[in-house]
A and B are shown apart, each in its own frame.
Chain A
Amino acid sequence: MDIDHNTLVGFAKSWGLFYFIGFSVCVVIYAFWPANRKKFDDAKRSILSKDDRPWQ
């Protein structure tokens, strides 16, 4: 099969768009998934903790 310039451009312009939309949907779902809320809240607060020591 011959892959010429136009084939690549066509592929990039169609499937490139779809994978991009698919990816952004995944990111939005991850960010707003209810079960993740507590994890995110803990993460943003825990860096302010004064307890500044590594675990052993």
Chain B
Amino acid sequence: MVQQLTTGERQNALVILLAVFVVGVAMAAAGGSDPLGVHGVIVLLFGGGLGALVMRSYYEPEPTLDRPSHYYDDPIKAGIALTLAWAIFGMFMGVWTAAQLAWPDLAFDAGWSTFGRLRPTHTTGVIFGFGGNALIATSFHVVQRTSRARLAGQVSPWFVLLGFNLFCILAVTGYFMGVTQSKEYAEAEWYADLWLVVVWVTYFVLFLRTIARRKEPHIYVANWYYMAFIVVVAILHIVNNLALPVSLGQAKSYTIWAGVQDSMVQWWYGHNAVAFFLTAGFLAMLYYYLPVRAQRPIFSYRLSILSFWGITFFYMWAGSHHLHYTALPHWVQNLGMTFSVMLLVPSWASAGNALLTLNGAWQKVRDDATLRFIFVAVVFYGLSTFEGSFLAIRPVNALSHYTDWTVGHVHAGALGWVAFITFGSIYTLVPSLWKRERMFSPVLVEVHFWLAVAGTLIYVFAMWNSGILQGLMWRTYTQEGTLAYSFLDSLVAMYPYYIARAFGGLLFLLGAIVAAYNIWMTVRAVPASIDRRTDVPDTGLAPGAAATPAE
């Protein structure tokens, strides 16, 4: 890893890590016994630990001069390892919190392990830890391959990847201590948010500079999706997290938004986090890894452009559907509802485009579990975008809102779409990145596939049942005009579904562990492929080809 850097770059890395270390010391000193002080210690250990790693390899030989003729794959490899580690952590926390809902004793009477603190460790762990690392790793891979250009930086890819993980660590450790902004998917406090801005702007600049170095005349559509993901997440993150800290020595801050504006900003952020973090970036994976795995070009490139702009423009306006029947002006609710319904068009255009790409190659889908992961992802993408448009309609939302139906919808998207496309992409990427002929065990990929399918179906069906039941119980009146069921009645009715949901989640977690083992063994035990002449210096000739007259 460090061996890939020149002495000058190693010095730059050390300067950055020293700065991180100093900031950590300052935070620890200013924070004292406040959670900010604990985070200061984490930051200084992070900066110091990585600094020690760089120093240990400081005097090792410099990279050879042909470095620019290779793609920069080290940060991608580390990114995949981090993706899998966060997947197991985040999904484990999900199973634990799900089990707590069925058996509340599993909080063990401690403050740090109450449901309210553990839940954001699950959402942050899977969305940002698992999803975010997968997005960063695959975006580094896709942008290099589709631009035929090496990343436009040596230290900055590491800064982006590790800086992002520092943000995730600060966020998750904060929740255990009770640190939160109480904003969904944006719980991390002001200092972590400021750090993420620095990391994200670096990511944006790195991505743009790499595209600017491209050899291909046209920017492949997957890069547009990654670009939209990076740009919009930056805007969302900054606007939603505008806050004033109580003091520079305290973790607590107050948002500058007030009342219904705060709600609107939060759900403009929240829904676009789904749109641009959990959809745009993963559609980028779809538009690259699906054609590559199926060895077929995308069915219609034009359709992919139309659906790109459709998704980009429609999603921005859909957030207010989270605030039906609130103090938000009625016309704003209508706006969100209308755009949510319109969103079905570009969403199904993408899903249809992907399915039509596979049309004529169904035997590959049958035989290849990796391609099947991608196929199931597309099906769930189509399904959950339809469900999302449906749930955004106000009268439907009257039944579904605040019930487990929403949770079921989110997990149809997060497990069925996001996790499936991620694992499909990783199984495509790992052998090519480590130059292996195949995965360690195709059987384990099958095992993972069926564990994941079973887990998702059990989870989603349990939540559909429980959500609709809950919604109906809350709105049933007696002849005298009083509510027929107390809240506790509805809670007792949830019990079997909560057990089923925890079991479905457990299957999904087991699948992720199987994947991590299989990928580890692929890297460790499968011999490097001799024929796989990827990533070799550009001799101007195709690998193994003799010089032939001009084409």
Which residues of A does B touch, CB under 8 Å?
9, 13, 20, 23-24, 27-28, 30-32, 39-48, 50-56
User: Once the chains are docked, how many angstroms separate the CA of A39 from the CA of B216?
Assistant: 10
20 pairs, CB–CB < 8 Å, chain A vs chain B: A9-B331, A23-B313, A27-B306, A40-B218, A40-B301, A41-B301, A43-B220, A44-B291, A46-B216, A46-B220, A47-B146, A47-B292, A48-B295, A51-B543, A52-B432, A53-B538, A54-B71, A54-B148, A54-B538, A55-B215
| Smallest CB-CB A-B distances: 10 pairs | A40-B301, A44-B297, A52-B534, A43-B218, A55-B215, A31-B302, A27-B309, A44-B301, A54-B150, A31-B305
Q: Is there contact, CB below 8 Å, between B145 and A47?
A: yes
Interface residues in B291-328 by Cβ distance below 8 A to A read 291-292, 295-298, 301-302, 305-306, 309-310, 313
Contacts of B535 in A (CB 8 A): 52-53
Say which size band chain B's interface belongs to: 35 or more
Contact of A54 among B69, B291, B301 (CB under 8 A): B69
- CB contact under 8 A between A31 and B216, given known A54-B144, A54-B150, A54-B538: no
Contacts of B68 in A (CB 8 A): 54, 56
Q: Is there contact, CB below 8 Å, between B542 and A51?
A: yes
Closest CB in chain A relative to B265 CB, distance in Å: 16
Tell me if B442 counts as interface (CB < 8 A to partner A): no
Closest CB in chain A relative to B435 CB, distance in Å: 10
Closest to B306 in A: A31
Tell me if B536 counts as interface (CB < 8 A to partner A): yes
Among A24, A50, A51, max chain B CB count under 10 A is at A51
User: Once the chains are docked, how many angstroms separate the CA of A46 from the CA of B223?
Assistant: 14
Contact of B298 among A42, A44, A53 (CB under 8 A): A44
Closest CB in chain A relative to B210 CB, distance in Å: 10
Contact of A43 among B69, B145, B149, B301 (CB under 8 A): B301
Contacts of B148 in A (CB 8 A): 53-55
Closest CB in chain A relative to B70 CB, distance in Å: 7
Contacts of B70 in A (CB 8 A): 54
User: Once the chains are docked, how many angstroms separate the CA of A9 from the CA of B215?
Assistant: 46
Q: Is there contact, CB below 8 Å, between A40 and B145?
A: no
Closest CB in chain A relative to B541 CB, distance in Å: 10
User: Once the chains are docked, how many angstroms separate the CA of A23 from the CA of B296?
Assistant: 31
User: Once the chains are docked, how many angstroms separate the CA of A47 from the CA of B69?
Assistant: 18
Contacts of B306 in A (CB 8 A): 27-28, 31
Contacts A27-B306, A47-B145 supplied; 4 other A-B pairs, CB < 8 Å: A31-B305, A48-B297, A52-B145, A53-B536
User: Once the chains are docked, how many angstroms separate the CA of A18 from the CA of B51?
Assistant: 55
User: Once the chains are docked, how many angstroms separate the CA of A46 from the CA of B70?
Assistant: 19
Closest to A37 in B: B302
Closest to B332 in A: A9
Tell me if B164 counts as interface (CB < 8 A to partner A): no
Tell me if B537 counts as interface (CB < 8 A to partner A): yes
Tell me if B221 counts as interface (CB < 8 A to partner A): yes
Closest CB in chain B relative to A16 CB, distance in Å: 9
Closest to B288 in A: A47
Tell me if B217 counts as interface (CB < 8 A to partner A): yes
Closest CB in chain B relative to A13 CB, distance in Å: 8
Q: Is there contact, CB below 8 Å, between A53 and B69?
A: yes
Closest CB in chain B relative to A43 CB, distance in Å: 4
User: Once the chains are docked, how many angstroms separate the CA of A43 from the CA of B149?
Assistant: 15
User: Once the chains are docked, how many angstroms separate the CA of A46 from the CA of B298?
Assistant: 11
Among A27, A28, A41, max chain B CB count under 10 A is at A27
Among A44, A46, A55, max chain B CB count under 10 A is at A44
User: Once the chains are docked, how many angstroms separate the CA of A28 from the CA of B298?
Assistant: 19
User: Once the chains are docked, how many angstroms separate the CA of A9 from the CA of B330?
Assistant: 12
Contacts of B331 in A (CB 8 A): 9, 13
Closest to B299 in A: A44
Among A41, A53, A56, max chain B CB count under 10 A is at A53
Contacts of A9 in B (CB 8 A): 331
User: Once the chains are docked, how many angstroms separate the CA of A55 from the CA of B217?
Assistant: 13
Q: Is there contact, CB below 8 Å, between B216 and A43?
A: yes
Q: Is there contact, CB below 8 Å, between A53 and B537?
A: yes
Contacts of B309 in A (CB 8 A): 23-24, 27
User: Once the chains are docked, how many angstroms separate the CA of A54 from the CA of B412?
Assistant: 38
Closest CB in chain B relative to A37 CB, distance in Å: 8
- CB contact under 8 A between A40 and B537, given known A45-B297, A54-B148, A56-B68: no
Q: Is there contact, CB below 8 Å, between B220 and A47?
A: yes
